Amino acid sequence: MSISEKIKELHTTLPKHVTLVAVSKTKPVADLQEAYDAGQRVFGENKIQEMAEKWEVLPKDISWHMIGHVQRNKVKYMAAFVDLIHGVDSLKLLKEIDKQAKKHHRIIKCLLQIKIAEEDSKFGMSSADASSLLASAECTQLENIQIVGVMGMATFTDDTTQVQKEFNNLKTTFDHLQAQHASLEIISMGMSGDYELAIKEGSTMVRIGSSIFGARNYTSASQVNP
């Protein structure tokens, strides 16, 4: 199937309450444009420079999501346009996002990244840390960010029982946090290999890349021209 056919199929089969983030990292602008022409409006990138280059040339009604690990010194390069930052794992990062958003008179939405995987390579905070952060005076004083939910990445494994358990842990964390903070509404979990399981466990936002665009070509990650 073509990119446009895959997009249309996903739009048809995904539940209405689930947002599809088309993960377009390393993919050329022509591929994103094809997805856009098929009706896709939300795209996820994990490199700020690459996302900024694509933002420059693609339609301006696209909602750009930063799904990778964010370095504080790079926030300024996306503050003018990024719609949602998935991987917020510290108060320091939140403060920097707030600072840069203020310069552009914007409010940037953020998700707290919760560590649910057993792999050491995965970033994220504990449920207790997230609860403390949301309740802190320093966090509530930030006026140019809006924390709207949580994000998590399951262990890269074929053990669906383990993945299901990790997704369930994120849903439990979300429920606990939402009880104190009603503004939370997004649970971002699930990728190409496990998004159906993630949805069953409560995901409201899935990040799908290879199932739409095919395998990634990391040798041309910076190539954004059609």
* Domain annotation for the chain: domains and CATH numbers: 3-213 (3.20.20.10)
Please give the Cα distance from 47 to 176 (Å, whole number).
31
What pLDDT, on a 0 to 100 scale, did the predictor assign at position 119? 72
The mean pLDDT value for 172-185 works out to 96
Q: For residue 75, what is the DSSP state?
A: G
Q: In whole angstroms, how far apart are CA 15 and each of 52, 111, 127?
A: 30, 21, 27
Structure tokens that stand for 65 in this block:
């999501």
Is the pLDDT confidence value at 221 over 50?
no
Is the pLDDT confidence value at 216 over 80?
no
Is the pLDDT confidence value at 217 over 90?
no
- For every residue of 127-171, DSSP letters joined together read HHHHHHHHHSHHHHT--SEEEEEEE----SSS-HHHHHHHHHHHH
Q: Does pTM top 0.85 for this prediction?
A: yes
Structure tokens that stand for 167 in this block:
């997704």
Q: Over the chain, what is the mean pLDDT?
A: 93
Which pLDDT tens digit goes with each residue over 47-92? 999 999 999 999 999 999 999 999 999 999 999 999 999 999 999 9
Which pLDDT tens digit goes with each residue over 91-112? 999 999 999 999 999 999 999 9
CB atoms within 10 A of CB 187: 28
Structure tokens that stand for 45 in this block:
């990138």
Please give the Cα distance from 79 to 100 (Å, whole number).
6
CB atoms within 10 A of CB 217: 12
What pLDDT, on a 0 to 100 scale, did the predictor assign at position 224? 43
